[in-house]
Amino acid sequence: MERAPADDAGSAGGRSIDRRCRVLSEHRYPSADVAAIERVIRERRDIRQFSAGQLPEGLLGRLVEAAHRAPSVGYMQPWRFVRIATSSNREALWRIVDQERMATAASLPTRAAEFLKLKIDGIREAAEVLVVALMPGREAHIFGRRTLPEMDLASTACAIQNMWLLARAEGVGLGWVSFFDPEAVASLLEMPPGSHPVAILCLGPVAEFPPVPVLETQGWGSRLPLDEVLFEDRWRAGAGGTPTAY
Ligand SMILES: Cc1cc2nc3c(=O)[nH]c(=O)nc-3n(C[C@H](O)[C@H](O)[C@H](O)COP(=O)(O)O)c2cc1C
């Protein structure tokens, strides 16, 4: 990527850039920490295959705390977490997901049988299951949402990503499941009107973190080259959406 031209690169401007760079580097983490952050971003995986066993003592709390440290539009902190503690609720969630899995297969234009062979959740096997929901009363929060109300969901996705990265660094798998009817989940968990479930998170020990996304290995997509997602100054003429594999 080209840098912006240094149009203030005269002696005074140059000095101020130098000072800015120095200030930035004073705040820089040690290189090993920066490398660790890049590594966890690269090696995070969506996990649906879990091994037996529990999370290490205290880790679930730290994972939720990491999520709760996420940025949020207008600082609204719209995320709420429901830990699924009973096997009856877990089974009911799994049934809701399985129903949606079938409905998705029926709505695919092609590859339905292949899709049905994919494992799309680890609800029954995971050590822990959390439902993440948007809180009720979000309409009262206007900062940053007047024209983009969906920024509540964007904030909650940031929270989940925080959890995802810490889980990976701790060697624990996390899978985000979104195959469900939100009304069915809301009703199962007695959620108040105005709340909205957006994720079922499965967490637990794993045998491996695949080096590439499972959907890539199984021919449902691949990482786009960077220059297909990064444009300069204006939308690149002719650039469209990511093609589907079905
Ligand atoms: C919002 C969201 C919802 C997702 N829902 C599901 C899901 O229901 N089932 C599933 O198997 N994976 C789900 N995934 C995981 C994606 O399939 C996965 O992120 C993608 O294939 C890339 O793989 P990676 O996360 O391992 O890099 C979801 C991911 C996101 C961000």
How does pLDDT run across 46-89, given as a tens digit for each residue?
A: 999 999 999 999 999 999 999 999 999 999 999 999 999 999 99
Q: What is the biggest distance separating any 2 CA atoms in the chain, rounded to whole angstroms?
A: 71
Domains, the chain, in order of start with CATH, read 45-217 (3.40.109.10)
Confidence band (pLDDT; 50, 70, 90) for 25? confident
- Look at ligand 1, atom 10, and give the residue with the nearest C-alpha: 120
Task: Kindly report the number of other CB atoms within 10 A of residue 165's CB atom.
Answer: 17
- Look at ligand 1, atom 18, and give the residue with the nearest C-alpha: 46
Instruction: Tell whether the model's pLDDT for residue 139 goes beyond 80.
Output: yes
Confidence band (pLDDT; 50, 70, 90) for 14? very low
User: Long-range contacts made by residues 225-231, C-beta under 8 angstroms, separation at least 24?
Assistant: 230/1
- Look at ligand 1, atom 28, and give the residue with the nearest C-alpha: 176
The rounded distance, in Å, linking the Cα atoms of 111 and 228 is 26
> What pLDDT shows up at residue 23?
59
Say if pTM beats, i.e. exceeds, 0.95.
Answer: no
Instruction: Tell whether the model's pLDDT for residue 5 goes beyond 90.
Output: no
Would you give the distance in Å from CA 162 to the centre of its chain?
8
14 CA → ligand 1 middle, Å = 45
